[in-house]
Amino acid sequence: MNSLNLILTPKSLSLSLSLSPHLLFFLLPKITSSSFPTIPFRRNPTPILNNNLRMMMMLNSTTPSPCRTFQTDPSRPSSSGEIHVFVGPMFAGKTTSLLRRLQSESSNGRNVAVIKSNKDTRYGLDSIVTHDGEKFPCLALTNLASFKQKLGVDAYVKLDVIGIDEAQFFGDLYDFCHEAADYDGKTVIVAGLDGNYLRRSFGSVLDIIPLADSVTKLASRCEICGKRALFTLRKTQEKEIELIGGADLYMPVCRQHYVDGQAAVEATRYAVASQKAECAPIHK
Catalytic annotation, residues = 166
- Does 257 contact Zn ion by CB under 5 A? yes
- Does 222 contact Zn ion by CB under 5 A? yes
The single residue among 15, 28, 145, 224 that binds Zn ion, judged by CB under 5 A, is 224
Q: Which amino acid is at 99?
A: L
The single residue among 125, 225, 244, 247 that binds Zn ion, judged by CB under 5 A, is 225
∠ CA 28-30-31, rounded to 5°: 140
| 143-182: contacts with Zn ion (CB under 5 A) | none
Q: In whole angstroms, give the CA distance from residue 220 to residue 90.
A: 8
Selected range binding Zn ion among 3-11, 117-125, 158-166, 227-235, rule: CB under 5 A: 227-235
Provide the minimum distance between the beta carbon of 259 and Zn ion in the complex, in angstroms, as a whole number.
10
Q: Which helix (H) or strand (E) holds 100?
A: helix 94-107
Selected range binding Zn ion among 38-46, 90-98, 203-211, 220-228, rule: CB under 5 A: 220-228
Provide the minimum distance between the beta carbon of 233 and Zn ion in the complex, in angstroms, as a whole number.
10
Q: For the residues of 112-145, what is the DSSP string, one character each? A: EEEEEETT--BTBSSEEE-TT--EEE-EEES-GG
Query: b or e along 3-26 (b: 16 or more beta carbons within 10 Å of the residue's beta carbon)?
Result: beebbbeeeebeebbeeebebbbb
Q: Which amino acid is at 195?
A: G
The single residue among 87, 151, 254, 261 that binds Zn ion, judged by CB under 5 A, is 254
Provide the minimum distance between the beta carbon of 239 and Zn ion in the complex, in angstroms, as a whole number.
24
The residues of the shown chain that bind Zn ion, judged by CB under 5 A, are: 222, 224-225, 227, 254, 257
